[in-house]
Structure 1
Amino acid sequence: MPKAKKTADNWNYEASVDQVETIIAELETGDLPLAEIFQQFEKAVTELKKCDNFLQEKQQQAQLLIETLSPAESE
């Protein structure tokens, strides 16, 4: 399994989700010009990729912790 890409130290998952939600709300208004829609969509996709990478990394860390806490199986 490929290693998840590291995010910037100052990046915050919750702030990123808030940003995506704000972008979605703006897109749903229908008031943005077409070029702005594509720019905002691109920002949202970029943030969602960062969120996905973060969650994959944390899932791998949790799995590793679970494996180290589980007793070794008898063979």
Structure 2
Amino acid sequence: MRPEEGSVSDKATAASPSFEQTISELETIVNEMEQGDLPLHEALKKFERGIELSRLSQKALVEAEQKVRILTEQNGEAALQDFAADNEG
């Protein structure tokens, strides 16, 4: 493989926005659509992008949950524990 040719997964990883960027863009789309002044074709484009972002976000959350389960696994069994926030009270 030539140096200028990356693998498909390398390109996908480099092009993938972070979870925070995805949520931020999704919030922007929701706000724009809630205003109700977009032309139909633009609203449909925004809706499609919103669905795509929603799926990316859900996938990231599932992957994070799987990592947490792996990290908290004890004695061959998952030891799910409630998350305790530091700022309770």
Q: Given the two structures, how large is their TM-score scaled by the length of structure 1?
A: 0.77
Q: Name the structure where strand makes up a greater proportion of residues.
A: 2
Q: Larger Cα Rg: Structure 1 or Structure 2?
A: 2
Counterpart residue type for residue 57 of structure 1: E
Aligned length: 66
Residue in 2 aligned with 1:30? Answer: 36
- Of structures 1 and 2, the one scoring higher in RCO (CA 8 A, sep 6+) is 1
- Shift of the alpha carbon at 1:71? 3.8
The 5 A counterparts of 1:1-75 are 8-9=13-14, 10-67=16-73, 70-71=74-75
Task: Give the 3-state SS of the residue equivalent to 1:21 in structure 2.
Answer: helix
Task: Please report how far the alpha carbon of residue 72 of structure 1 lies from its aligned counterpart in structure 2 after TM superposition.
Answer: 5.6
Q: Quote the RMSD (CA, aligned, Å).
A: 2.0
> How far is the alpha carbon of 1:54 from its aligned partner?
0.6
How far apart are the structure 2 equivalents of 1:42 and 1:52? 15
DSSP 3-state at the match of 1:58: helix
Unaligned runs of 5+ in 1: 1-5
Given the two structures, how large is their TM-score scaled by the length of structure 2? 0.66
- Could you list the per-position Cα deviations for residues 25-70 of structure 1 after superposition, in whole angstroms to 9, with x for gaps in the alignment? 1101111001111100000110110010011011011101111xx2
Q: When you count helix as a share of all residues, which structure comes out higher?
A: 1
Structure 1's consecutive aligned runs of 4 or more residues displaced over 3 angstroms after TM superposition are none
